[in-house]
Chain A
Amino acid sequence: MSDDAVSPEEVRHVADLARVDLDDDEVDRFTEQFADILEYFETLDEVPEVDRETDLTNVMRPDEERPSLESEAALGNAPETEDGYFKGPNVS
């Protein structure tokens, strides 16, 4: 693993963009993990190049309504809801 793959500053910046608070220990831990994850991508270099089977273009559907989800199903996975809304923490 190369040391300069990811810097702690980059981790802080990414966390900031994702609106995640990290303490110093976590920054260190994620710096290492980010570098590991990026290293896995190098494995992809070993995959032989293959051509796409067909050159798809213009895949479209007509402008026709399809049934939407029932509200219960739509909100079913949400940890918190209120009056049919997804509920989350304050964001700025």
Chain B
Amino acid sequence: MTAQTAQQGDLVTVIGLEVHVQLETDTKIFCGCSTEPSDEPNDNVCPVCLGLPGALPVLNEGAVEAAVKIGKAIDADIPEETRFHRKNYYYPDLPKNFQITQYDEPICQDGTLEIAVEGERRTVAIERAHLEEDPGSLQHVGGGGGIDSAEYTLVDYNRAGTPLMEIVTAPDFRSPSEVRAFLAELEEVLEYLGVFDAERDGSLRIDANLSIIPEAEIDGDDTDEIGMDALEAANRTEVKNISSHKGAEKALAYEETRQKNAIQRGRAVEQETRHWDESRGITVSMRSKEEEKDYRYFEEADLPPLRVSGWKDEIAIPELPAARRERFQAEYGLSEEAASKLTSTKQVADFYEDVAGEFDPDLAATWVADNLLGELNYRDIEITEIEGRLEEIKRLVELVADDEITAKNARETVLRSMLDDGRMPDEVVKEDGLGKTGEDEVEQAVVEAIDENPDAVGDYENGDDGAINFLVGQVMQKTGGSADPGDVNQLLRRELEG
């Protein structure tokens, strides 16, 4: 077997990512316009984000704080000094004909994020993360709506100037599923930090570089070390327009297969930019006029340099999902699976700790991870949407913990009715007669039944044993059917004969 055929047989996929995340600030990165989506186009715009002559950008402190939080979370260096640059290109979504971004002095450098892929821990290197502004949005109108065939373009600058963080990873991924795991973990971390909202339209955008290289180029077991020559030699495609972690897995699986097919048929893979067409589930070649040098990056003289490395000590970040998962296992004795579910969002984890602090941690885990999340998931509701009702859910757990209601009734009747009809737990228990009846209450009902039914009592005393059944029925009615008929029978007999 020649070296060449061996190489062709053993191909490895190498993927690197550029992830753009929208930072959750109230205002844009360089002006005081709101970042809230508007129904009207060009509603949240001003001379700065419209790029009118003479307007000067002033940096939003909130965006810098968010960037520092991200830097801390990915354990990145925040250099002593960092600055902004202009990236020049002409496109109508860019009112100034340049985008303010950070070129060779980004605010975060050399970070890492740990992920679990199929139970195995992997560390992904993050080369850099920098602040930049979002362009506006374009609508291509007429001629079928395609970019090339459109008759004209409508431009809305509401998005222009929205703060973004671009997070650039090393080419550390070996499969689309690893990419998906990374993006899911990254989203979780960003949401824990409170700097990102996954529900917001367009809040996550991913460009991915994918190339296929011979496995022989990877050094031994350490899959992080790829011969850089091999990576340079292999043509890569940049896949753009990916907007979710699920979309990323699909887009990259498609692209991986497309490149492998080309190589197996002896065709060259073009070095190009490709556009992920979500609705068709394919990537398509996309013309790109600019090469790196055409962007003519230069310093943004309107923005003085930033010196914020000290902020790392001043700004606190919450416990992150990975650390919290481990602590939940150690502190509450949870399984890894339960701990993962319970730390999936900060709100879920906070609620679990709230419940576990008052009741049995296992009971709390069942209630939050299985019952509550299960029912919410079934209804496609996020925990954040019922934040105001978490005290009621806690009350329901208390009813179970105090043995006032069966776990089955609590889950199948009370919880569902709370979610579907907006009822309160005690109200459902009372109105639907779900309370477990206490002994005192049964005894009370027995006494009452005897007092109220002298005829039946007389029949029983005269030897009509069947009369006891009538009295049992009366007691059952009084206790809403929650007493045990056998117990009631015995109690009645004891009372009548005693």
Contact = CB atoms under 8 A, between A and B. Distances in A.
Nearest to B64: A60
B46 A69 contact: yes
Contact of A58 (B32, B151, B152, B308): B308
Nearest to A90: B150
Contacts of A1: none
A48 interface: no
Contacts of A71: 40, 42-43
B42 A85 contact: yes
A91 B153 contact: yes
B192 to A, nearest CB: 20
A12 B42 CA distance: 34
**Prevailing SS type, chain A contact patch:** loop
Interface stretch (B88-96, B267-275, B334-342): B88-96
B262 to A, nearest CB: 26
Contact of A63 (B41, B61, B139): B61
Interface residues of A, number: 34
Interface string A48-92: 000000001111111111111101001101000011111111111
Contacts of B47: 69
B327 interface: no
Contacts of A60: 58-61, 64
A57 B138 CA distance: 35
Given A60-B64, A63-B60, A91-B92, A68 B45 contact: yes
Residue from the set A59, A60, A62, A82 with the largest chain B CB neighbour count within 10 Å: A60
B81 to A, nearest CB: 8
Contacts of B50: 69, 74
A92 B151 CA distance: 11
Contacts of B304: 56-59
B307 A58 contact: yes
A87 B143 CA distance: 16
Contact of A88 (B147, B153, B303, B305): B153
A58 B61 CA distance: 9
A16 interface: yes
Contacts of A68: 33-34, 43-46
Contacts of B32: 61, 64-67
Given A19-B90, A82-B154, A65 B306 contact: no
Interface in B303-340: 303-308
Interface string B292-312: 001000000001111110000
Given A84-B41, A91-B147, 10 more contacts: A61-B59, A61-B60, A63-B27, A63-B60, A63-B62, A74-B42, A83-B41, A88-B155, A91-B92, A92-B148
29 contacts: A13-B294, A18-B90, A56-B304, A57-B306, A57-B307, A63-B26, A64-B32, A66-B32, A67-B32, A69-B46, A71-B43, A84-B40, A84-B42, A84-B156, A85-B41, A87-B152, A88-B92, A88-B153, A89-B153, A90-B140, A90-B148, A90-B150, A90-B151, A90-B153, A91-B91, A91-B92, A91-B138, A91-B147, A91-B153
Interface of A: 13, 16-19, 56-69, 71, 74-75, 77, 82-92
